[in-house]
Structure 1
Amino acid sequence: MSPTSPTDTSTTPDTGATPAVEASAREARPSLVARLLASVSDPVLRILVGATLISRIGRGVFLTVTVLYFTLIVGLPPGEVAIVLAAASAAGVVASFAGGALADRFSAKKLIIAFTAIEGAALIAYVFAGDFVTALVIAVICGFFEQGANSARSAIIARAFEGESRVHARAVLRTVTNVSIAAGSGLGALALALGTAEAYRGLIVGAGVLYLLGLFQLVRLPSRVDAPARPTVAEVVTATGSVDASATAEAIAAERRDWRRHSPWRDPRYLALTVLSAVFGMQFGVGELGVPLWIQRETAAPEVLIAVLLVLNCIIVVVFQVPASRGTHDLRVAGRVSAIAAWLMAGACLVYAAAAGLPVWFAVAVLVIAAIAHAFAEVLSQAGGWGLSFELADPVRAGTYQGVFGMGYSIGALASPLVVNATAITHGFAGWAVLAAIFLASGLGTWWIARRAALAAPAA
């Protein structure tokens, strides 16, 4: 150690000031609990967090028992179960857009309350499903109103927050969602362990009740989360100062034309962003379908590793989603994290593929490395996508824009099992390489859109 090193206390007189300053700094530094409370200081975010915390526990319960409930209790063959789940996803595609569009014309608060109430009641109705048709109808209702509520929630976030706080709110809610679903999955395991029809039905009823309990939080949302009311005929007459019928009709028609000009369907940049985000969103299908089948069929790793990797993914999302989302309201930052996510996901696909044929523990290590890269790609892609979906949207029709963006994700979720099966599962390493190229192209395409938008922003 150098004689003049600042850590050499033998040459520095002890005045007692430094320990006092350090102690004061320690006292001033907020605790973990204080930081968590500060992150949800906004009243709207606190309400959404409370509702999400309660209802998503119910969602975790239901996700855990769904397939086995349909097969073991209702008695549906696997093919009919697949049709039921696909129909629910297809209904969600339509509802994603419809929910956002309705949130621009009606009260987003009333919509999310109504949609959540119907979804909770539909979940409880599953206990009466005794055949394929009944299960199909209930699943379509659940899928439709779940995605409709999600779009209404996105519209609420778009209006209640600005800039970085909007992305922060999405990150906090996603973190809470993961924690709640993990807790609900633990409760769902009770039904799996008991294996009785009563246990399954009891937990499904409990899941629906939790959704309904979340309504006690949602009714507290303030009116500022709703879209500004569109002008009525009387207001148009007052504004134009004329009672002439033709002039009034022309004014109303002009207002409607202006409304249509703000449509996301007339915004090619936003539509391109939606398509690229939907393509990258197929990474969820890789984790839910591709990785489990790859481990079971092509690697020497034990099947229990599937659960371990799911838990690892959940932990990374919970710990890193909020920090990774900071600053992504800036178009350049959002583009940069989307590019990083693209390279990470492409690399994860190739590393997953490399696990085939390796000795057990070597395969386990390789799969864990791939899963870590995959989880961070998920976290960063979500952060970048949220920032761009808010900042590139027209605020006049925030709900419709968020509905279109959500619809893209729903389509990606619907297509991902088919794409993953047609590539990685069917063609092995070559298929994984195709997936890697798809994710790289979509992520870098998102980066290009963000870069162009950032360059155009000063001129605008």
Structure 2
Amino acid sequence: MQTKLTKESPTSSFRHRLRDSVSDPVLRILVTATLISRVGRGVFLTITVLYITFVIGLSAGQAATVLGVSSAIGVATSYLGGLLADRFSARRLLFALMAGEGIALGCYPFADSFTSVLLIACAVSALSNASNASRMAIVARAFEGPARVATRAILRTVTNVSIAVGAAIAGAALLSNDVASYRAVMVGAGCVYLVGVIPVWRLPKYVDAPARVPVMPMISSEGAAPGGAVSVARSPFKDGPYLSLTVLSAIFGMQFGLAEVGVPLWIAHNTQAPTALVSMLIILNTVVVIVFQIPLSRGTENPRTAGRVMTIAGILMAAACVVYALAGGVSLAVAIVLLIIAALAHAFAEVWSQAGAWGLSFELANEANPGAYQGLFGMGAGLGAMCAPFVVAGTALTFGFPGWLALAVVFLASALGIAAIARRATPLTADTVEQPSSESLAVQSS
């Protein structure tokens, strides 16, 4: 039997909503595992690149190769992880993948060459992306409607908090600038990650895929036969609307690469603002996500709402690009103000776009094989992340203001495309869907 999150009151406090949310046993386990494991992940995110360059001695080109190749491996395993979650026990699969990832992370301090770093990075990326797809398959089966999006919002909020804590811990090693401290912190972080895997073993059996139904021709294009018949598995690659959603979400998802690569380089080379502002903007983004991701994700399980939210995100992201561009070539004070305004618009665009994409990725997926669908969606996100540095470098960082305008158009167009998919997915009005007539209720009860 599936469990559901308690319905949120519009006036409930953030603490009350979070407390009610983790009252569900599945979400409580996922939150506990995320809270612990992502502290370890935060340490590695902060320190790994510095460790492999300054301690192991890899060149910038070798480090870029490691990141690029490992990201490509992760793209492939996203779909594989979701596919396996539809065929085997998703909870045991998640446990095994997370345990493998923790062990792989703990191997970093023992790497001593480009080859060993590359192998470890590929293993970490492969296991991480596969585990995320299996985790989303579990969310799709354990929850329904609003609870799915709320779960993703809660997990993302917890992830941001934990990574921030991990980054602070890594700061101790960075301050000491000592090889022994680097290695000790990384080994400890790997152990912490493994501790976070333990709660996953307690996930209930109903999050696993049911017995497989033999594949047969689909009667309805919506993934289920008329009259409430159980839907049968279909390849997400043959689902045009979902494939389009994945591609457009991947394009909009390049905003993460813009924040991680484009904005820091733009600030350092094209504005009067100090490079220390980069850290402040990252903190600002983290705070916005932590505070607003859960409340602003409500209602996006409805495709119409998700479409409207994506439109807002597209407008905000386009505006952020323009304001980022305006920060170049102005005085110090003006540049700082403009960059803060752009970062705020960017942060809220991120929050709303994630909420809208999550809702559509669940609601437009075939219920018979959610793992494959979530795996494809994760695969698209990985491809977007891979392409982002090249797209940002070839637009904003190369051409300045015209490049930023090009990015603004790309983000806005992809968001409007997603909104169009959402509108086509909901031909009925919200009132028709949410308030069935007494006659229809009578028919259903009979």
Q: Please, what TM-score do these two structures have when normalized by structure 1?
A: 0.87
Tell me what 1:70 maps to.
52
1:436 to 408, 417, 422: 408
State the one-letter code of the partner of 2:185.
Answer: L
Q: Is the 8 A contact 2:314 2:416 kept in 1?
A: yes
Verify: 1:223 aligned to 2:205, yes or no: yes
User: What's the CA shift for 1:253?
Assistant: 7.5
Q: Is the 8 A contact 2:215 2:232 kept in 1?
A: no
Distance across 1 between alignment mates of 2:13 and 2:46: 35
Tell me what 1:11 maps to.
none
Equivalent residue runs for 1:343-358 within 5 Å? 343-358=315-330
Distance across 2 between alignment mates of 1:94 and 1:191: 33
Where 2:107 maps in the other structure, the secondary structure is helix
User: What's the CA shift for 1:207?
Assistant: 1.5
Equivalent residue runs for 1:32-43 within 5 Å? 33-43=15-25
Tell me what 1:242 maps to.
none
2:289 to 317, 342, 345: 317
1:391-422 Cα offsets, whole Å, 9 max, x none, are 00000011000000010000000110010000
Distance across 2 between alignment mates of 1:66 and 1:437: 34
Verify: 1:326 aligned to 2:298, yes or no: yes
Distance across 2 between alignment mates of 1:391 and 1:176: 23
Distance across 2 between alignment mates of 1:253 and 1:121: 38
Distance across 2 between alignment mates of 1:350 and 1:324: 24
Distance across 1 between alignment mates of 2:260 and 2:114: 24
Verify: 1:377 aligned to 2:353, yes or no: no
Distance across 2 between alignment mates of 1:35 and 1:346: 32
1:293 to 265, 285, 304: 265
State the one-letter code of the partner of 2:311.
Answer: A
Distance across 2 between alignment mates of 1:115 and 1:255: 34
1:404 to 366, 376, 394: 376
1:47-106 Cα offsets, whole Å, 9 max, x none, are 000000000001110011011100111111111011111111111101110000000000
Verify: 1:446 aligned to 2:421, yes or no: no
Q: Is the 8 A contact 2:75 2:379 kept in 1?
A: yes
Tell me what 1:116 maps to.
98
Q: Structure 1 residues 164, 131: closer, same or farther in 2, change over 3 A? A: same
Distance across 2 between alignment mates of 1:385 and 1:30: 25
Tell me what 2:227 maps to.
none
Tell me what 1:189 maps to.
171
1:254-296 Cα offsets, whole Å, 9 max, x none, are 5999998611111000000000000000000110000000000
Tell me what 1:336 maps to.
308
State the one-letter code of the partner of 1:53.
Answer: L
State the one-letter code of the partner of 1:351.
Answer: V
Tell me what 1:49 maps to.
31
Greater shift in the superposed pair: 38-47 or 409-418: 38-47
Where 1:329 maps in the other structure, the secondary structure is coil
User: What's the CA shift for 1:36?
Assistant: 2.7
List alignment gaps of at least 5 residues for structure 1.
Answer: 1-28, 232-251
Greater shift in the superposed pair: 123-132 or 306-315: 123-132
Q: Structure 1 residues 256, 354: closer, same or farther in 2, change over 3 A? A: closer
Distance across 1 between alignment mates of 2:12 and 2:84: 42
Where 2:206 maps in the other structure, the secondary structure is helix
Distance across 1 between alignment mates of 2:354 and 2:14: 24
Tell me what 1:148 maps to.
130
Equivalent residue runs for 1:88-127 within 5 Å? 88-127=70-109
Greater shift in the superposed pair: 412-421 or 259-268: 259-268
Q: Is the 8 A contact 2:33 2:197 kept in 1?
A: yes
Distance across 1 between alignment mates of 2:276 and 2:374: 38
User: What's the CA shift for 1:38?
Assistant: 1.2
User: What's the CA shift for 1:437?
Assistant: 0.4
Tell me what 2:331 maps to.
359
Tell me what 1:82 maps to.
64
Q: Structure 1 residues 216, 255: closer, same or farther in 2, change over 3 A? A: farther
Tell me what 2:394 maps to.
422
Distance across 2 between alignment mates of 1:53 and 1:218: 12
User: What's the CA shift for 1:177?
Assistant: 0.3
Q: Is the 8 A contact 2:86 2:371 kept in 1?
A: yes
Tell me what 2:236 maps to.
264
Distance across 2 between alignment mates of 1:329 and 1:261: 22
Larger Rg: 1
Distance across 1 between alignment mates of 2:123 and 2:147: 33
Distance across 2 between alignment mates of 1:261 and 1:304: 51
Distance across 2 between alignment mates of 1:406 and 1:122: 21
State the one-letter code of the partner of 1:278.
Answer: A
Distance across 2 between alignment mates of 1:186 and 1:361: 29
User: What's the CA shift for 1:40?
Assistant: 1.4
State the one-letter code of the partner of 2:202.
Answer: R
Distance across 1 between alignment mates of 2:324 and 2:291: 23
User: What's the CA shift for 1:319?
Assistant: 0.3
Distance across 2 between alignment mates of 1:452 and 1:120: 42
Query: Whose helix proportion is higher, 1 or 2?
Result: 1
CA RMSD in angstroms, aligned pairs only: 1.9
User: What's the CA shift for 1:176?
Assistant: 0.3
2:119 to 137, 157, 166: 137
State the one-letter code of the partner of 1:298.
Answer: N
Distance across 2 between alignment mates of 1:255 and 1:453: 21
Distance across 2 between alignment mates of 1:38 and 1:452: 34
Tell me what 1:237 maps to.
none
Tell me what 2:156 maps to.
174
Distance across 2 between alignment mates of 1:35 and 1:343: 29
Distance across 2 between alignment mates of 1:270 and 1:303: 40
Where 2:86 maps in the other structure, the secondary structure is helix
